[in-house]
Structure 1
C-alpha cells in the first residue's frame, strides 16, 4: 500500500502539513536566536572593556617594574 493512498490524492495535502510545521519551527528558533543577540552584545562589550583594562593595568605594572629596576640599579652603583 502506498503512503499517500491510491493515486496520491493526499500527496500535496500531506506535504503541506509537513512543510508548514517545519517552517514554523524554523521561524521560532530564528526569532529566539535573534532575541538572544542583544543580550550577548553587551556581554561581549563588557568582556572587551575588561580585556582593555587588563592590558592598561599590565602596561602600568610594566612601567612600575622598570622604574623599580632602575632605582635598584642606581642604588647598586652608589653602594658598589
Structure 2
C-alpha cells in the first residue's frame, strides 16, 4: 500500500466582510489568479507588502500558477 497524503475537502471561511479560501483551492480559480497578478502589478500594493525596492511584477497565468504552487509546496 502506497503512502498517500489525504487531500482535504474544499472549504472556505466566510464572515460578513471577508472570505478566506486556502491557496490550494483558490489556485484553481482563474479570477483568483488574475487578482493575484493584478495586485503584484500595482505599485501601492507591492510597496506596502514588500517594500519600495521590490517594484512591480507583470506575470502571466502560467507564471502565477507556478508561483502559487511553489508557495503551497513551501508551506
Q: TM-score range by the shorter chain?
A: under 0.3
Instruction: Please say which structure displays the higher CA radius of gyration.
Output: 1
The structure carrying a bigger helix percent of its residues is 1
TM-score by length of 2: 0.21
Between 1 and 2, higher relative CO (CA 8 Å, sep ≥ 6) is seen in 2
The structure carrying a bigger strand percent of its residues is 2
